[in-house]
Amino acid sequence: MGHIYRIKLPGAGDQDQNQQIIIKHVAAPRKTKSVGDQRKANSYQVEANFYENVAQQLIKLGLNIPMPLVVERDAGKSKSEIVIAMSYIAENGMGRSTDSDEHLKAVLRWLATLHASHWDISDHEAQELGLQRTASYWHLDTRLEEHMAMPNKGWEGRLKLAARAIDQRLKRDTQCIIHGDAKDANVLYQYSESEHSHDDHDVYMCDFQYCGRGAPSKDLAYFFCSSVAPDNETTALEYYLQQLTTRLQNDAMAPTLEELQESIDLAYCDYYRFMSGWGYWGSGGDGEERVKMVLNRLDGGKTLASADDYVNAVQREYG
- What are the structural domain ranges in the chain? 1-90, 93-318
User: Which amino acid is located at 299 in the chain?
Assistant: D
Enter the pTM of the model: 0.91
Pairing status of strand 2-8 against strand 20-26: antiparallel
Helices (H), 206-306: 216-226, 233-247, 257-278, 287-299
| Yes or no: domain 1-90 corresponds to CATH 1.10.3470 | no
In the three-class reduction of DSSP (H, G, I as helix; E, B as strand; rest coil), residue 120 is classed as coil
Say if residues 220 and 214 touch (Cβ distance below 8 Å). Answer: no
Q: What is the pLDDT along the chain (319 residues), one digit of tens a residue?
A: 899 999 988 876 666 666 889 999 999 887 777 888 889 989 999 999 999 999 999 999 999 999 999 999 886 666 679 999 999 887 655 555 556 788 899 999 999 999 999 999 999 999 999 999 999 999 999 999 999 999 999 999 999 999 999 999 999 999 999 999 999 889 988 765 544 444 444 789 999 999 999 999 999 999 999 888 888 999 999 999 999 999 998 777 999 999 999 999 999 999 999 999 999 876 556 789 999 999 999 999 999 999 999 999 999 999 9
- Residue 198 CA to residue 191 CA, distance in Å, equals 8
CA torsion sign for 264, 216, 308, 151 is negative
* Matching fold, domains 1-90 and 93-318: no
Helices (H), the chain: 35-53, 55-60, 101-117, 123-129, 144-149, 154-170, 216-226, 233-247, 257-278, 287-299, 307-318
Give me the CATH topology for the region 93-318: Aminoglycoside 3'-phosphotransferase; Chain: A, domain 2 (3.90.1200)
